[in-house]
A = this chain, B = another copy of it.
Amino acid sequence: MSEIVNFRTRSRDEVVDLTGHVRRAVESSRVREGICLIYCPHTTAGIAINEGCDPDVARDLLTVLDGLVPQQGPYRHAEGNTAAHVKAVLCGASQAVAVADGRLQLGQWQSIQFLEFDGPRERRVLVAVMEAGS
């Protein structure tokens, strides 16, 4: 029912396009009608559905987030990655997309993006595809 996508990020802030992986997971699941959950099990990264044609949109997103949640606090948490935790909460740990007729119901300009806020790190994303009951 679920697949794990493993990858390595290369910088502190980075966007990794998962759309192709997720489409293939939906196809190989053979689910016809249901829901696909793309889930990030990390606390310093998130999942977004975002414009994916122009990579500058995601770069602008990272820049805006950096302005909203400064890397240097003052913060209580002493590990130096508080900003990454906060950004992860603001963007969300998962996204859900409907599956109909065996196809992921993404909009024309939508991509599924892994948002790294505390790289470089080894990361994984869970793609769970569930058939609706009947």
Binding site for B on A (CB under 8 A): 1-2, 33-35, 37, 39-44, 48-51, 54, 56-57, 59-61, 63-64, 68-69, 73, 75-79, 82, 85-86, 88-98, 100, 105-110, 126, 128, 130-134
Contacts and interface: CB of A to CB of B under 8 A. Distances in A.
Given A2-B105, A34-B132, A37-B96, 17 more contacts: A2-B100, A35-B35, A39-B97, A40-B107, A43-B107, A43-B109, A49-B94, A50-B88, A50-B89, A57-B82, A61-B85, A64-B82, A94-B95, A98-B128, A100-B128, A132-B133, A133-B133
A37, A51, A63, A105: which has the most chain B beta carbons within 10 Å? A51
Contact of A93 (B73, B95, B132): B95
B98 A76 contact: no
Contacts of A85: 50-51, 57, 60-61
27 contacts: A1-B33, A2-B98, A35-B128, A35-B130, A39-B105, A40-B107, A41-B106, A41-B108, A42-B107, A42-B110, A43-B49, A43-B107, A49-B89, A51-B85, A56-B75, A56-B76, A56-B77, A60-B85, A89-B91, A90-B90, A93-B110, A98-B126, A130-B132, A130-B133, A131-B133, A133-B133, A133-B134
